[in-house]
Amino acid sequence: MKSGSSPKHTADSAKARIVTIDAGQHGQRLDNFLLNRLRGVPKSHVYRLLRSGQVRVNSGRKKPHYRLQDGDRVRIPPVRVTAKSDPVIPDSLVRQLENAILLDNVHVLVVNKPAGIPVHGGSGYAFGVIDILRQSRPGQPLELVHRLDRETSGCLLLAKSRISLNACHAAFRDQHDSTVAKHYLALVQGHWPGQQTVDIGIEKVIRSGERMMQTAGDGARAVSHFACRQQFDHNGLQASLMHVQIETGRTHQIRVHARHQNHPLAGDEKYGDKAFNSQMKALGLNRLFLHASRLQLDLPDIGRIDAEAALPEELQDVLDALGK
C-alpha cells in the first residue's frame, strides 16, 4: 500500500473565490475547510494565507480554529494547486472494506477496520480506509469521526454529513458521560488482576527523531479503565487479556497507559517489551494486540449507535495458543 503519487500538472486560480457556507459546512473549523478546498496546496502555505489575512470571513480576519457559521462568506485567495494522480486502490481492498461494514444508516457508517490499513493516506501511505470507502461510494460524503492506529483493528465511525459529523464530535468531546462508550480488548504483559482506572495526562515528545507519547502530570488529560478478562501462564509466559474503556481519545492512549502500569501491550513495537514481543511472535502474533471491540453512542436527533466487532481470527488464535 505504501507508494507516492506524482503530480500531473499545476493550475492557477487567477481570481479570488467567494464561497458561501451552508448548513452542511456549519461548525467546521476554518483551517479544515480550507485544507479540504485547497487539496494539493501544502498545509504550511494554507496557514500562511490565514496568518497574512488573505483569507477573509465576512470581510474580516479569523483565526484558524474559527467555527464556520451558516451563511458566512469565505474569501479564498488565488493559489497554485498541484493536481496529483489519484492512488490506485485494488478492488480486493474495496471488497474487503465493504464486507467489513458493521452498521450503515442514513447518518453514519461503522466499519470493522482491519489491522495494517491506516484510516487515511499520508506518512508514506497512498490511501487509507476513508479513501477506499470514498472510491466504493462515489458521491457519498464521508468523513472520519475519530481515528484508530494503523496497527489497531475494530470499530471505526464515519459520518455521512456535516450535521452527523458535528453531532458525533460533540458527543466525543463530552464522552465522560453516558452517551459514549468505546470498548477495546488488549493483551498485555504479566498478570494484571482486577480493575484499575489510569487517570494521567499524555504529552508528545520527540526521541531520536521519532514522535512518541508519554505520560505527564501536566499533559492532556487521559482516562482509561482496565479490567481483566482472562489471565494466562504459558510455559512461564504471563499475559492478561484486558477489557479497556476510555473516556478520552488521546494518541496511543491505551498503549501509553498500559506501559505506564508496567503492562505493555503484546506486539507493540513502539512502547512494548522486546523480549515479551519475541515470545508472543513465537506463538503466532504478528501485529499489535489491540482491538476496538464495541462502539456505543446516543445522539440527539440521530438516535442510538451500537456496533460490535468480533475479535479477529488471528488474535483469537494467539489466545488459544496461550491457553494450551
CATH architecture of 8-84: Roll (3.10)
Q: Among residues 131, 149, 268, 273, which one is catalytic?
A: 149
> What are the φ and ψ backbone dihedral angles of 49, each rounded to 5 degrees?
-60, -40
Rounded to an integer, what distance in angstroms lies between the CA atom of residue 242 and that of residue 224? 12
State percent of the chain over pLDDT 90.
62
Domain ranges of the chain: 8-84, 91-164, 176-322
Q: How confident is the model at residue 16 (pLDDT cuts 50, 70, 90)?
A: confident
SS3 letters across 6-66? CEEEEEECCCCEEEECCCCCCCCEHHHHHHHHCCCCCHHHHHHHHHCCCCEECCECCCCCC
Residue 85 neighbours by CB distance under 10 Å: 11
CA–CA separation, 239 and 225 (whole Å): 18
- Confidence class of residue 8 from pLDDT cuts 50, 70 and 90? very low
Q: Is-catalytic flag, 199? A: no
**What are the two backbone dihedrals, phi and then psi, of residue 316, each rounded to the nearest 5 degrees?**
-65, -35
The DSSP output letter for 87 is P
d(CA 97, CA 30) in angstroms, rounded, equals 31
91-164 and 176-322, same CATH topology: yes
* The CA-based dihedral angle spanning residues 309, 313, 315, 318, taken in that order and rounded to the nearest 10 degrees: 150
pLDDT bucket at 110, cuts 50 / 70 / 90: very high
Query: What does the angle CA 42 – CA 120 – CA 302 come to, to the nearest 5 degrees?
Result: 115
CATH code linked to domain 176-322:
3.30.2350.10
Tell me, what's the pLDDT at 9?
A: 37
Give pLDDT, residue 82.
60
Q: What is the pLDDT of residue 108?
A: 94
* Yes or no: domain 91-164 corresponds to CATH 3.30.2350.10: yes
Whether residue 25 is predicted with pLDDT greater than 90 in this model: the reply is no
Report, as an integer, the average pLDDT of 280-303: 93
- Output the nine-digit C-alpha cell for 36: 479540504
Q: What is the pLDDT of residue 151?
A: 95
Where on the phi/psi map is residue 19: left (φ > 0), alpha (ψ -120 to 50), or beta? Answer: beta
The DSSP code for 321 is H
Give the cell for residue 322.
Answer: 496461550
